[in-house]
Structure 1
Amino acid sequence: MKPIRLVIVEDDPMVMEVNSEFVSRIDGFELAGKACNGSDALQLITNIQPDLVLLDYFLPDTDGFSLLKEIRQQELSLDVIFLTANRSAEHVQQILRLGAVDYIFKPFRFERFRTALEQYRTLVEKLNSTEQLEQSDLDLLIGMRRDSKNTPPKILPKGLNDHTLQQIIQFLQTQTEFLSAEDVAAGTGLARVTVRRYLEYLQTKGRVQLDIQYGSIGRPVNLYKMQTSSLNKQTFE
């Protein structure tokens, strides 16, 4: 069987790099192209006609739902897997109705990414190997997809959102020293009070180390650094 040719549509260069590396680790797939916005993506998809598109929802010039609608209206023969932080039930329903084969919430781990692509590869191999399916074949294929969706998505505490959380995680992953909430706020452009809430959440989850620095006067300062094990998990938005 020929490699499954896929295109990644993602506006964040760091996430694009990580997703590309993830694809390279899975047999049977060929990265045929990349695009960082909707207009470039549509032109690329039209020109090279890939088998699969890994599509982000939030794009600079459009959104993934609108792009998928355009793909369907042009009757382009391809499948789509969404990789996005958008957890809106309404949006998920709309996208599934347009025929997306999977929808993965960010941040995600490599294992979930690999499962999605391997199950898609199995589906393609089965559909290409026979002209007719038995009910048992279809039950198995549908059952595999259901299994991947049985694990409920991680729910963040009220007031926190995935986009900001991942912005802070990605910044911390580039740092080697302990940082205060003020340092992280300066590095991300976020408010210090906002950053502190996310750092406290990450600390309760074991994602960051906490070091309390006591000065001669004033209140102690909490300093944070990404746990080494968290760096290896490679969870990105």
Structure 2
Amino acid sequence: MQPIRVMIVEDDPMVMEINAEFVSKLSGFELAGKAFNGKEAISLLKDIRPDLVLLDYFLPDTNGLSLLQEIRTNNYPMDVILLTANRDPEHIREIFRAGVVDYIVKPFRFDRFQTALEQYRYTLRKFKENRPLDQADLDAIKGIRPYQSEVLVEELLPKGLNDRTLQQILQFLAGQEIPLSSEEVATGTGLARVTVRRYLEYLEKKGDIVMDVQYGSVGRPINKYRL
């Protein structure tokens, strides 16, 4: 799959650079353009046609909702994630009605940013498979799991494992295009390698993920995991 082209709309230069750096840390994404106000944004998105727009709400000449509505009115083929300090419930409701794939409240950490973009990549890959999507596919795209009480889930897991960490690892793997080793998963999730290995072994035994054994020219074979 070609790199996902990202455009950032943000009026604060420092925040712009942080977000651009976050994009650069993620494989499979490339920064296609930057805009510091609404006028620049409309001109640039017409020209570069990004796949994804990371949009602030508070802009010097407009706001994110108005810009989002203009994108939708003109049927520009791109998706939008709001990265903003705006917490007004009525504004947020209107923004979701206008069509965004995610809404991230500032200030945010890199792991939340990473989750949003990896979930978007997973969604895009599903859409490009060119096959009918079933309910399980749609639930995975929306991050919906069948309801189970948290207590019941914890009881069903082996001792020492918890559902939150399990879902963190699964969500990370969902955004990957190639099998990864336990060390690579640990690096990507920020978890300890020993911890990650236990969860990967459990998920592989359950059949939730697949283990590929890869042999190099020298040394021991490496176990790599994928959904």
> What's the counterpart of residue 196 of structure 1?
none
Secondary structure at 2:90 match in 1: helix
After superposition, the Cα gap between the structure-2 partners of 1:137 and 1:131, relative to the gap in structure 1 and judged at 3 Å, is same
Q: Does 1:59 align with 2:59?
A: yes
| TM superposition outliers: structure 1 runs of 4+ over 3 Å | none
Q: Does 1:107 align with 2:107?
A: yes
CA contact 1:83–1:106 (8 Å) conserved in 2: yes
After superposition, the Cα gap between the structure-2 partners of 1:16 and 1:144, relative to the gap in structure 1 and judged at 3 Å, is farther
> How many residues are paired up?
146
Distance 1:47 1:59 in 2: 20
Please list every run of 5 or more consecutive structure 2 residues that lacks an aligned counterpart in the other structure.
147-227
Q: Does 1:9 align with 2:14?
A: no
Map residues 137-156 of structure 1 onto 2, 5 A cutoff.
137-143=137-143
Comparing both chains, which one has the higher relative contact order based on Cα–Cα distances under 8 Å and sequence gaps of 6 or more? 1
CA contact 1:9–1:37 (8 Å) conserved in 2: yes
> What's the counterpart of residue 91 of structure 2?
91
Q: What letter corresponds to residue 6 of structure 1 in structure 2?
A: V
Q: What letter corresponds to residue 3 of structure 1 in structure 2?
A: P
Q: Does 1:119 align with 2:123?
A: no
Map residues 1-80 of structure 1 onto 2, 5 A cutoff.
1-80=1-80
% identical equivalent positions: 62
Q: What letter corresponds to residue 58 of structure 1 in structure 2?
A: F
Cα displacement string for residues 88-147 of structure 1 (whole angstroms, at most 9, x for unaligned residues): 00000000001111000000000000000000000001110133112211122222599x
Distance 1:68 1:145 in 2: 29
Pairwise CA RMSD: 1.5
Distance 1:108 1:93 in 2: 20
CA contact 1:119–1:144 (8 Å) conserved in 2: no
Normalised by the length of structure 1, the TM-score is: 0.60
> What's the counterpart of residue 199 of structure 1?
none
Distance 1:17 1:138 in 2: 34
Normalised by the length of structure 2, the TM-score is: 0.62
